[in-house]
Structure 1
Amino acid sequence: MMKSYTYLLIDLACIAVPLLASFYPKHAFFKHWKSFFIANSIVTLVFLIWDYFFTDMGVWGFNPEYLLGIYIANLPLEEILFFICIPFSCVFSYFAFKYLVSATFFKGIQQYITLGCSVVFISLGLIHYSKWYTFTAFLFAGMYLLYLRWKQVDLSYHYLAYVFILPFFLISNGLLTGSFLEAPIVWYNNAENLGLRIFTIPIEDSVYGMLLIFMNIEGFRYFQSKALKI
């Protein structure tokens, strides 16, 4: 019986601590939830459309044994919650670091990291154009980073938040892709990716995750700036 709650419990575990910490009086993130949820709803819609088509195409899929059995179109409820819970935790981390860390290691090198990642991601995406997950994840992430570089966005705190959540990414995505479980919750068609794994996690997930996080942070920053002007 509990097996069917596995994906849901992973979602809840990812958001539990940031959700509680949002009510810290000195720097209360809950006061900024409106900006987050507006941004997140837009980004989530983009990723759910992507998710819908890739699930339909068999690029990836879901093991029903670990799901509640509630679907919207072809996507399980837990997958939809994933695009809320993970970005919430990451944007909260970004928000907290802005208060807690006066300057980051990435400050002086962030523009070089962005340019380097852009070139590598776009190149790999174009080289492996026949592999749907590799092509889209690398190309979209590379193009978005290039756009942020063109806009001269300081990504030093974005990278700090991304590096901070990497251990949690390895645990949560590891569980989703089969680490410590009898079978993966989310399976991948290796014909559509490079076949390179971080433990059980396709390398593409780390780039896909970066795009998801950075888009949510930028959306949050945008709507936050609008709210401050009111």
Structure 2
Amino acid sequence: MTEFQYLLLMGACVAITLPLEFVLRARVYRRWRLLLPTILVVVLVFGLWDIVGIVREHWTYDSVSMTGVMFGPLPLEELVFFVVIPVAALLSYEGVGTVLQIARRRWADRRTKE
């Protein structure tokens, strides 16, 4: 089970932020034409960064917590991280924006009623 620890953590990030798409109408997944290029840039830039860091032995990954599936020197879990975390961040950002917009409307409504 420990070899899936990192992937389970990424799954938890998805599970925690996914409701923001529906409850707060974050509209991140619905705008996939904007989402895909964003994710692609993150994967390319940070993937190359990690590959250089791994090849130059600046850092390594704990093989006990990994599945062992590799893309060259890059573990599968790191690629999953590059997709999940930016999407979770976007969902959180849009969710906070929605909550703030609702709060501003309520505050404006209270001011007009007074």
- Place the TM-score, normalised by the shorter chain, in its bin: 0.7 to 0.9
The alpha carbon displacement at 1:23 in A equals 2.7
Map 1:16-165; keep pairs closer than 5 Å. Answer: 16-24=15-23, 27-29=25-27, 30-102=29-101
Choose between structure 1 and 2: higher helix proportion. Answer: 2
Q: TM-score scaled by structure 2?
A: 0.79
TM-superposition CA deviations, 1:97-137 (whole Å, max 9, x none): 222114xxxxxxxxxxxxxxxxxxxxxxxxxxxxxxxxxxx
- Tell whether the 8 Å contact from 2:26 to 2:91 is kept in structure 1 after alignment: no
The amino acid across from 1:84 in the alignment is V
Question: 2:7 — aligned with what?
Answer: 8
Moved beyond 6 Å, runs of 4+: none
Partner SS state of residue 58, structure 1: coil
User: Please, which runs of 5 or more residues in structure 2 have no aligned partner?
Assistant: 102-114
Name the CA distance, whole Å, in 1 between partners of 2:56 and 2:8.
27
Partner SS state of residue 55, structure 2: helix
Question: 1:228 — aligned with what?
Answer: none
Name the CA distance, whole Å, in 1 between partners of 2:3 and 2:72.
19
The amino acid across from 1:47 in the alignment is F
The amino acid across from 2:3 in the alignment is S
Partner SS state of residue 51, structure 1: helix
Query: Structure 1 residues 28, 101: CA separation in 2 closer, same or farther (over 3 Å shift)?
Result: closer
The amino acid across from 2:25 in the alignment is H
Q: TM-score scaled by structure 1?
A: 0.41
Partner SS state of residue 22, structure 2: coil
- Tell whether the 8 Å contact from 2:20 to 2:92 is kept in structure 1 after alignment: no
Name the CA distance, whole Å, in 2 between partners of 1:37 and 1:20.
20
Name the CA distance, whole Å, in 2 between partners of 1:43 and 1:69.
22
The alpha carbon displacement at 1:28 in A equals 4.7
How many residue pairs match? The answer is 100
Q: Which has the larger radius of gyration?
A: 2
Name the CA distance, whole Å, in 2 between partners of 1:94 and 1:83.
17
The amino acid across from 1:27 in the alignment is R
Name the CA distance, whole Å, in 2 between partners of 1:39 and 1:88.
9
Partner SS state of residue 90, structure 2: helix
Name the CA distance, whole Å, in 1 between partners of 2:6 and 2:38.
24
User: Please, which runs of 5 or more residues in structure 1 have no aligned partner?
Assistant: 103-230
Query: Structure 1 residues 20, 99: CA separation in 2 closer, same or farther (over 3 Å shift)?
Result: closer
Partner SS state of residue 60, structure 1: coil
State the identity %.
Answer: 30
Name the CA distance, whole Å, in 1 between partners of 2:13 and 2:26.
19
Greater relative CO, 1 or 2 (CA 8 Å, sep 6+):
2
Name the CA distance, whole Å, in 2 between partners of 1:8 and 1:53.
23
